[in-house]
Structure 1
Amino acid sequence: MKYSSIPSAQTVIRHCKANGIDNIVISPGSRNSPLTIGFSEDPSFKCFSIVDERCAAFFALGIAQQLQKPVALLCSSGSALLNYYPAIAEAYYSDIPLVVITADRPPQKIDIGDGQTIRQENVFDNHIGYSANLKLDIKNTNPLELSDTDRVKQASIQKHNDDQLVKSLEAAFNNKTPVHINIPFEEPLYGVVDMPIISSTTATRNEKELQVVEDLDSYIKLWNASKRKMILVGVHYPDEKVQQLLDSIANDPSVIVFTETTSNIHHPNFFGSIDSIIAPIEKSKDKEGLFQKLRPEILLTFGGLIVSKKIKAFLRKFSPINHWHIDQKKANNTFYCLSHHFKVEPNHFFEAFNKGIVAQASDYFSYWDHIKRGYQIKRQAYMDQIAFSDMLAFHHIFKNIPQRYQLQLANSSTIRYAQLFDLDPSLRVFCNRGTSGIDGSTSTAIGASIVKKEPTLFITGDLSFFYDSNALWNNYMRSDFRIIVLNNEGGGIFRILPGQEDTENFETYFETVHHLEASHLCHMYQMEYQKVENEKELDLALHTFFEKSHNPKLLEIKTPRVLNNKILLSYFDFIS
């Protein structure tokens, strides 16, 4: 096995190894070669080579999303690391741990006109859990070969670097956050030795302390005295224990549970299509009275960011008396009425909370459950009569996804359509909702797909797909990886939002009308490709789309650009 001859490179690698960071996503470069050599030569690490740094960062994010543990990123100096920023921001707001390692030029080379050199220290400060700026070694050599004076200086540098690495990795593990490690290297960069020159490093991260739930008596008393309680679940990693604990609340007539598609929480008594409840109220003559009837006395939330704009608008205007949020790390005041933050994981909270709560007589659940059953019947009737469109395509897609698939969803229209349908409870659903951007959805899905046994389906719109088309440029796509692209030749989300959708400026600068197809990309990246343009073709394609194949598959569904928004908006009129 070969080791880089540079002490600081060996130090970084040893800290990663000691702390169990074993997935390393590397983008090619020269300045990062000491680390590339060290990681790729050590069989303890699983290394991935992704050329495009933006794709590489989202690819790593997908792996970390699924493993729920830090994944390391490695790139060269200069603008390379700036391409990491979108994924770092997503990881920051989604509480996904990434260890971002960037090679830098020596300090004396900064701002003198040297090539591939920018100010890298603390460059991600607004969206990072910790920034570690390592110091340049005295020389690229064994410390034992230095003079006595230089050896003392190198020992001080080594201590600084060790301390910074300890702090950064502790933050990544304990706070579930991205961290940045910036490390300067001086040439020569490619020197190797047969034996390590840095002594072994032990694990530095602290084990999580046993979580203690605060005294809940006063909150349980309030809960039991209330006739209208609402539980709202945002982005949440699949968790059988939390599911079981919520199931025990499902039959309380004073509780309604709103679940988003990304919550991975299911029960026949829960409300999965939030907008299908709220949109008809918005159109009602008795809007004020119905919203007051829906208004909870207590709102209990957990999970990540909420997709539904309608539930946010409702709860901001018709505020609950109490809003409690459960999360070990943070509590966003999304509805401007946060009254308490339970700093504990949901399973620990509900284990303690459920012991004291008592079901209360109320018509809160029964009234809104009747509304829910009504719109479910009307939704099916609507699907039976509408023309081929995005909405009808999603209806057929969700009916045909095999059980136990990992389902990755792109942002904008895709995640919003998914919110309107009932998905099979065996599906594990994910979407980059931290910043809600379209920029790395495909890369995230591919990264997420390679670390789980179950096959993955990624559903995306055309703009998201073409925007991140470099995601396909890798050697890691599994043969059972599937992509469905809804191609309506533009940004369909902008036709749903208020705007002047019939003007030339709208089509050019908002909708960005195009006539691109995915067939040539599939040919270049050796993916099986199929295109459908009507309901019959879609049904036939879906019957074979998930069958085994030698290569990954992409199904492109062409839908009418100027009809989709009308059919979606008319859905809310129909169920009203």
Structure 2
Amino acid sequence: MSTSVFNRRWATLLLEALTRHGVRHICIAPGSRSTPLTLAAAAHASVICHTHFDERGLGHLALGLAKASREPVAIIVTSGTATANLYPAIIEAGLTGERLVVLTADRPPELIDCGANQAIRQQGMYASHPTQVLNLPRPTPDLPARWLVSAIDGAVGALTHGALHINCPFAEPLYGPDDDDLYQDWLATLGGWWQTRAPWLRVAHPTAVAVEPDWPLWRKKRGVVLVGRVTAQEGAQLTAWAETLGWPLIGDALSQTGQPLPYADLWLAHPTAAQQLQTAEVVLQFGGSLTGKRVLHWQESCCPQEFWLIDPMPGRLDPAHHRGRRLVAPVSDWLNAHPAQAQAPWARGLSACVEAVRHYVAARLAGPFGEAPLAHRVAALLPPNGQLFAGNSLVIRLIDALAQLPGAYNVYGNRGASGIDGLIATMAGVQRANGLPTLGIVGDLSALYDMNSLALLRQAPAPLVLMVVNNNGGQIFSLLPTPARARETFYCMPQDVEFSHVAAMFGLNYVRAESWQQVSEATAACWAQGGVTLLEAVVEAKAWADTLNQLATQVANGEIETQLESDIARLEPLPL
């Protein structure tokens, strides 16, 4: 009994230390070896516990909570293969910066590598993907409480981004009555700390943003602002900053800038755009995870005098390895330290090019219902004061290239590793963190891959529409030079499924849509009436997969020239 009681005391102190670092949400999967941690979390008055039976979904639920709350989120799982299911979420957090505190319960050392049930080698199991690792010993009163709390504080306090893996071995017995007096003296050695809310050990980080001394010179040059994944507040701030400078801003779907020059993945294919942008003297990129193929190509091929990349995450985030500056700083703080100076736009021809592409795209997508026209008009479906969660593969590429999303509107996605695992769970976590009405859009294979996480949507705190765009398989592979004879069997893998039965299994409202009107009516009804709707948008499998490539080719070949010449003629001459 004394072992089970001390396990509880150890876990209680561990959880208390985490809350001093802002941990409010704890995601818990079922298991026996994790009992001390689970009971400690359940008994803690200041944490919100979330549960899920699927550890892979649980990890992504925590990822979504961390994305929207911008706080560290803890995960508790039992020992064995349960721990391995967290790997995709840990990888994603390492690439996109969300802070996860992963508590893996473990067998004690004497049960490892000896044939004991459910005992695997958990120390170092996530390799280099966690930012921090802490391997705790078996709980014992021989170690002072101040050792445990300072070890937790040191690890969590140093966690500026990514995951912290804390491996927690517990010996049996794991269950038993809790003697209120037993080992309380061990906890009491921390004295008045229990009456405070501060960590035992405080880890300080530099807060001042280094000012580039030559910024007053660079801001007078011809610059381009490239924006990847940033927050809604940062997106709005960047839009105003670039407009003041007179610099063109190319915004990703996750930039939340309002994309002042939308359809960049198309108009960048036009010679006029290339001619204008090749004279840029400096390019400033804020945030990573660019989506568009031609945007990425332009980022790689541009040759300014200097390329600056500003993002709070450390490390090299420029796959093109430009000469320039890697500036590690919060975007908003950096902008405040580097004010814009008002000047006239220098690349006015881009606006005419964009307008010509806008007219051309609208005309081309005005016909039959399909995923490309749906992506083009997605802004009309968004809930007021809500948010969009965009899945991966073809969905996010179409939205990025064919839609113009509103500025300062919350847009989320998993664009670190860009996998299709855990998308529904991540969306559920995002909504639980902020409680906003949510439109989520994923493909049919993505939905099948994370089908267990539909269980999480039953507890949605606000209206939610999960739109599953069913094109019967991974049609993104139709964009790639995959071998035609093997494409269906080994790449697209059509499943010939529909989603009414799975919606019924999890108690979700279901709507099947085969037209824009049906999609529009279903989403509007959900925003007005509340609840959760699984909206299956059924589209023709092969009709729209190559739309992006076709449109880009047509733009490059001059099929928008009449409109472009008309728009450029209205501009006053302005030398480059």
Task: Give TM class, smaller chain.
Answer: 0.7 to 0.9
Question: What does the per-residue CA deviation read over 1:307-361, in whole Å, with 9 as the maximum and x for residues that have no partner?
Answer: 1221222232232220111123324122221411223222222222216x452x6
Matched, 1:377 2:365: no
CA distance in 2, matches of 1:245, 1:318: 21
Aligned residue type for 1:448: V
Tell me which residue corresponds to 2:249. 257
Change (3 A) 1:373 1:85: same
Change (3 A) 1:245 1:497: closer
CA distance in 2, matches of 1:546, 1:313: 39
Q: What's the secondary structure of 2:242's corresponding residue?
A: coil
Tell me which residue corresponds to 1:569. 549
Tell me which residue corresponds to 2:108. 106
Aligned residue type for 2:509: E
Q: What's the secondary structure of 1:507's corresponding residue?
A: helix
Between 1:112-121 and 1:242-251, the stretch displaced more is 242-251
CA distance in 1, matches of 2:52, 2:292: 34
5 Å matches for 1:91-490? 91-138=93-140, 143=141, 154-155=142-143, 158=145, 160-172=147-159, 175-191=160-176, 192-194=178-180, 196=184, 197-199=186-188, 200=190, 202-204=198-200, 206=202, 209=205, 211-224=207-220, 226=221, 228-239=222-233, 243-244=236-237, 246-253=239-246, 255-266=247-258, 270-281=260-271, 291-295=274-278, 296-330=280-314, 331-354=316-339, 357=341, 359=343, 363-364=346-347, 366-384=348-366, 386-419=367-400, 420-425=402-407, 427-474=409-456, 476-478=459-461, 480-490=463-473
- Judge conservation of contact 2:439–2:466 (CA < 8 Å) in 1: yes
Decide which of 89, 94, 97 is 2:91's aligned counterpart.
89
Aligned residue type for 1:216: E
- Judge conservation of contact 2:233–2:408 (CA < 8 Å) in 1: no
- Once the two structures are TM-superposed, the CA of residue 533 in structure 1 deviates from its matched residue by 1.9
Aligned residue type for 2:237: Q
Between 1:37-46 and 1:340-349, the stretch displaced more is 340-349
Q: What's the secondary structure of 2:86's corresponding residue?
A: helix
- Once the two structures are TM-superposed, the CA of residue 22 in structure 1 deviates from its matched residue by 2.0
- Judge conservation of contact 1:459–1:484 (CA < 8 Å) in 2: yes
Q: What's the secondary structure of 2:285's corresponding residue?
A: strand
- Judge conservation of contact 1:170–1:204 (CA < 8 Å) in 2: no
Tell me which residue corresponds to 1:149. none
Aligned residue type for 2:156: L
Percent sequence identity is 27
Q: What's the secondary structure of 2:326's corresponding residue?
A: strand
Give 5+ residue unaligned stretches, structure 1: 144-153, 282-288
Change (3 A) 1:231 1:58: same
Q: What's the secondary structure of 2:104's corresponding residue?
A: strand
Aligned residue type for 1:492: Q
Change (3 A) 1:499 1:351: same
Matched, 1:497 2:480: yes
Change (3 A) 1:125 1:176: same
Q: What's the secondary structure of 1:236's corresponding residue?
A: coil
Change (3 A) 1:167 1:209: closer
Question: What does the per-residue CA deviation read over 1:383-425, in whole Å, with 9 as the maximum and x for residues that have no partner?
Answer: 22x3222112223443222322111111111111111211233
> Normalising to structure 2: TM-score of the pair?
0.88
CA distance in 1, matches of 2:548, 2:295: 18
Between 1:87-96 and 1:539-548, the stretch displaced more is 539-548
- Once the two structures are TM-superposed, the CA of residue 370 in structure 1 deviates from its matched residue by 1.1
Change (3 A) 1:559 1:214: same
Question: What does the per-residue CA deviation read over 1:461-514, in whole Å, with 9 as the maximum and x for residues that have no partner?
Answer: 10111100011124523461210010000001111222234x2x2101100111
Tell me which residue corresponds to 2:565. none
- Once the two structures are TM-superposed, the CA of residue 209 in structure 1 deviates from its matched residue by 4.9
- Judge conservation of contact 1:26–1:75 (CA < 8 Å) in 2: yes
- Judge conservation of contact 1:494–1:510 (CA < 8 Å) in 2: yes
CA distance in 1, matches of 2:483, 2:120: 42
Q: What's the secondary structure of 1:100's corresponding residue?
A: strand
Between 1:211-220 and 1:83-92, the stretch displaced more is 211-220
- Judge conservation of contact 2:273–2:353 (CA < 8 Å) in 1: no
CA distance in 2, matches of 1:530, 1:515: 18
Change (3 A) 1:443 1:4: farther
Question: What does the per-residue CA deviation read over 1:517-543, in whole Å, with 9 as the maximum and x for residues that have no partner?
Answer: 111110011100011223443344344
Change (3 A) 1:263 1:206: farther
Change (3 A) 1:85 1:194: same
CA RMSD of aligned residues (A): 2.3
- Judge conservation of contact 2:300–2:320 (CA < 8 Å) in 1: yes
Between 1:38-47 and 1:193-202, the stretch displaced more is 193-202
Give 5+ residue unaligned stretches, structure 2: 560-576
Question: What does the per-residue CA deviation read over 1:98-152, in whole Å, with 9 as the maximum and x for residues that have no partner?
Answer: 00001000111100000111111121231111110001134xxxx4xxxxxxxxx
Change (3 A) 1:20 1:319: same
Say how many residue pairs are matched: 537
- Judge conservation of contact 2:263–2:358 (CA < 8 Å) in 1: no
> Normalising to structure 1: TM-score of the pair?
0.88
- Judge conservation of contact 1:261–1:272 (CA < 8 Å) in 2: no
- Judge conservation of contact 2:390–2:441 (CA < 8 Å) in 1: yes
- Judge conservation of contact 1:135–1:161 (CA < 8 Å) in 2: no
Change (3 A) 1:210 1:398: same
CA distance in 2, matches of 1:62, 1:205: 28
- Judge conservation of contact 1:312–1:334 (CA < 8 Å) in 2: no
Aligned residue type for 2:95: Y
- Judge conservation of contact 2:63–2:98 (CA < 8 Å) in 1: yes
5 Å matches for 1:517-528? 517-528=498-509
- Once the two structures are TM-superposed, the CA of residue 246 in structure 1 deviates from its matched residue by 4.1
Tell me which residue corresponds to 2:573. none
- Judge conservation of contact 1:320–1:337 (CA < 8 Å) in 2: no
Q: What's the secondary structure of 1:44's corresponding residue?
A: coil
